[in-house]
Amino acid sequence: MNFDALTDDELNHLRTVSKLVSNPRAKWKEKPGHQLNYLLDRGSQSFDIYLRQNTLDALDFSCGLLIIKPDRTSLTLCRYNGSSHLHHDSHCHINYQFHIHLATELAILSGKKPEHFAKPTNRYTTLRGALYCLVRDCSVSGLEKTIPDEPDLFDNIL
């Protein structure tokens, strides 16, 4: 698979094809912050879900899905980020909002990170909620204890 020539349809297929977690009892590792990795199998394709949490800032987190080639090179298919930072690109300005990055053909062809482009979301407010959304959006099975964040009752009040 050539990561430099993936179309949006191919990227979407890789995100949504059924995947099974092979290490559902993975443990957090101390790095600069905390990190946890789940390995996923899909026949000849390997995927990885990573979770990163800054131990000093609850809003500084990331949860992403990678596809991994046999030579161990990887491509981030999607990334669900916390609201701890600004994100600006030519299409969108996200000011301290939760947001989802998706790999796109345009970003790859432009020489940017495949998942450069992002869109704001109100579907989650924690890393736990981001993982819940990723698991559902990307057809991942084998993680039994993913739970959504409770909706904010004040979101719809003006």
Q: How far apart, in whole angstroms, are the C-alpha atoms of residue 122 and residue 68? A: 29
Q: Tell the residue number behind the tokens 């993975």, with chain if given.
A: 26
Q: pTM score, two decimals?
A: 0.87
28 phi/psi in degrees, rounded to 5: -65, 145
Domain limits of the chain? 3-141
pLDDT in tens, 97-156: 899 999 999 999 999 999 988 999 999 999 999 999 999 999 999 987 888 998 765 555
What average pLDDT does this structure show over 27-47? 80
Q: Alpha helices of 5-153 — where are they, by DSSP H?
A: 8-16, 105-109, 127-137
